[in-house]
Amino acid sequence: MPDARFQPLPGFRDFAPQECAFRNYLFNTWRRVAHRYGFVEWEAPTLEATELYLKKSGGELPTQLFRFTDQGERDITVRPELTASLGRIAAAYQREYTKPLKWFEIGSCFRYEKPQKGRLREFVQFNADILGEAGEGSDAELIALAIDCMREFGFTAEDFVVRVSDREVWLRYAAENGVPEERVGDFLAVIDKFERDRPEACQEKLSAFGMKREELVDFIQNPPAGCSPRYDAVLAELEARGLAEYVQLDLHVVRGLAYYTGLVFEIFDKGRSLRAVAGGGRYNGLVATLSNGAVDMPATGFAMGDAVIAHLIEACPAARALRDAVLKPDACDVCLVLAAPEMRPQMLSLASVLRDAGVRVDLPLSPAKMGNQLKRAEKIGARYAVVIGSEYPEVELKNLSTRESIHTDPDGLMTELLGDADEA
């Protein structure tokens, strides 16, 4: 356990090497799957003009900003999310890239919220978006990418579900049930809280629209066949990909933010023990809003956070096993051990040759007993120790897992090790 006297700010995390190895495991997994889907990486500045976030209306976001005035009197904000920057940057660069844009990003976001399980003030999001494509094929591509990220972490259809919904269904429902246009946003907000509100509180809100909660429960539980042609199209695409078992139509989902326009989805653990691990949907008007109408591109995207997924991995044995495999200390391939101090120049020369060949090498930085050097080699997870003594250029190559040992010279060493390094 870390020494409690040296804490980061509340809701912020330190990544000592163990924690950083786990973070990199998440990053590498997201990156690998995104690459398989033909997505390319982009990154936004960490600070943006606050107005960029205020253009995106709705939600609690404006109250959760790390917002301040800089030395040049600018109103700036430490980014709470990436979609606003994406809209700005895509508007700036879209002419230089073939459409649709399939872009992903991995980086920190910052929200002043009450820290709790799965909720931090600095957290990492994996963002994936498709811009310049309006068809359901892109919604399906995106949902498939989200599913494959979960599968790559070791989760199965037993562990998680993608709840897909369609805002259009609710907009039609509102129109057919006499909700005036200016109150549709309020109506969607009631649906958004439908599962979390106490039934009486929910009914009270619905009464303002002349609706009965039981009718809505029934509508959600038995959505009319064909109510969302979009969902049906996405389901067909996912079926062809062999991914239909991961999704279900669930009209509870509307997503809090006002800018979503069509299909929306959230990924939850099957036990619903935590908040959503990922969420997203179509936001066709947002790029135009963010660019003041200069660039209009249909868009769909999702974000997956690192805090919730860390808890889900911990709770799932298969996912935990994949994680634990990357958390073993693994600082180097070879630890050089100096048995004869006068051979230090030869040891340093050998270190350079091995490193130039791509081998990860550690070595004693000051005089130390053989036993301590070997102990360090084991602790940092070296696969081999190479003992350099007075009989140099003969060296001893010790395999630290099998305990086997051979005597060889630097050329023989290279042959032994490079075979290994190539595999790694």
List the interface residues with a copy of itself, window 219-278 (CB under 8 A): 236-237, 239-243
Over the window 119 to 158, marking each residue x when it contacts a copy of itself by CB under 8 A and - when it does not, the resulting string is: --xx-------x--xxx-xx--x--x---x----------
What is the amino acid identity at position 160? Answer: F
Q: Cβ 45 to a copy of itself, closest distance in Å?
A: 4
| Residue 285 to residue 295: CA distance in whole angstroms | 10
Burial class (CB in 10 A: 0-12, 13-18, 19+), 30: buried
| Residue 149 to residue 145: CA distance in whole angstroms | 6
| Residue 82 to residue 116: CA distance in whole angstroms | 22
Among 210, 345, 371, 419, binds a copy of itself (CB under 8 A): 345
| Residue 14 to residue 23: CA distance in whole angstroms | 11
The region that residue 154 occupies, defined by phi over 0 for left and psi between -120 and 50 for alpha, beta otherwise, is left
Q: Torsion over CA of 46, 52, 57 and 63, rounded to 10 degrees?
A: 50
User: Whose Cβ is closer to a copy of itself: residue 190's or residue 286's?
Assistant: 286
N residues, the chain: 424
Please, are residues 13 and 120 in contact by the beta-carbon 8 Å criterion? yes
| Residue 297 to residue 134: CA distance in whole angstroms | 8
**Residue 352 in the binding site for a copy of itself (CB under 8 A):** yes
User: Whose Cβ is closer to a copy of itself: residue 109's or residue 267's?
Assistant: 109
Q: Cβ 82 to a copy of itself, closest distance in Å?
A: 12
Among 98, 222, 401, 402, binds a copy of itself (CB under 8 A): 98
Among 206, 332, 395, 417, binds a copy of itself (CB under 8 A): 332
**Residue 207 in the binding site for a copy of itself (CB under 8 A):** no
User: Whose Cβ is closer to a copy of itself: residue 240's or residue 315's?
Assistant: 240
User: Whose Cβ is closer to a copy of itself: residue 184's or residue 327's?
Assistant: 327
Q: Residue 298: which residues within 8 A CB-CB, separation 6 or more? A: 131, 132, 133, 134, 282, 284
| Residue 301 to residue 361: CA distance in whole angstroms | 42
| Residue 193 to residue 199: CA distance in whole angstroms | 11
Q: Which residue has tokens 């599968």?
A: 151
Segment 164-183, which members bind a copy of itself (CB under 8 A)? none
Q: Cβ 19 to a copy of itself, closest distance in Å?
A: 8
Segment interacting with a copy of itself, rule: CB under 8 A, options 174-182, 185-193, 355-363, 387-395? 355-363
**Residue 306 in the binding site for a copy of itself (CB under 8 A):** no
Segment 284-303, which members bind a copy of itself (CB under 8 A)? 291, 294-295
Instruction: Report the 10 Å Cβ neighbour count for 94.
Output: 16
Among 201, 315, 326, 348, binds a copy of itself (CB under 8 A): 348
Over the window 363 to 402, marking each residue x when it contacts a copy of itself by CB under 8 A and - when it does not, the resulting string is: xxxx--------xx--xx----------------------
Among 51, 60, 74, 215, binds a copy of itself (CB under 8 A): 74
Nearest by Cα to 274 from 118, 114, 111: 118
Q: Cβ 398 to a copy of itself, closest distance in Å?
A: 17
User: Whose Cβ is closer to a copy of itself: residue 223's or residue 381's?
Assistant: 381
